[in-house]
């Protein structure tokens, strides 16, 4: 089965500037302590595609809002913050 991507992309005008916002939804049926790292990888891929698309020449990077939708049994118990992936847990 091929990978599927279904970002929601919104754009609006802020004065003279176009503002682009990507909504990134990740569905999870189990806890994953590395979810923040996975989301970062997805965000970098979105930014890379954006920069490589000539239509966006001269534009600033879009805002990407990652959202994890979990239906893990017992609720989400995995790490929630990217800083928790480092030694010291983001202290």
Per-position pLDDT tens, the chain of length 91: 455 555 667 777 788 887 888 888 888 999 999 999 999 999 999 999 999 999 989 888 988 999 999 999 999 999 999 899 998 765 5
What pLDDT, on a 0 to 100 scale, did the predictor assign at position 21? 85
What pLDDT, on a 0 to 100 scale, did the predictor assign at position 73? 93
CA 35, CA 30: separation in Å to the nearest integer? 11
Of 11, 16, 70, 10, whose CA–CA distance to 39 is shortest? 70
What pLDDT, on a 0 to 100 scale, did the predictor assign at position 59? 87
User: Cβ(76)–Cβ(31) under 8 Å?
Assistant: yes
Of 31, 29, 26, 24, whose CA–CA distance to 9 is shortest? 24
User: Cβ(36)–Cβ(81) under 8 Å?
Assistant: yes
């Amino acid at each position: 089965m091929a990978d599927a991507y279904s970002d929601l992309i919104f754009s609006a005008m802020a004065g003279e500037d176009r503002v682009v916002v990507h909504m990134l939804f990740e569905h999870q049926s189990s806890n994953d302590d590395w979810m923040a790292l996975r989301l970062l990888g997805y965000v970098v891929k979105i930014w890379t595609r954006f920069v490589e698309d000539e239509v966006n020449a001269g534009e600033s990077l879009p805002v990407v809002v990652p959202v994890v939708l979990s239906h893990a049994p017992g609720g989400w118990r995995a790490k929630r913050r990217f800083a928790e992936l480092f030694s010291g847990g983001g202290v």
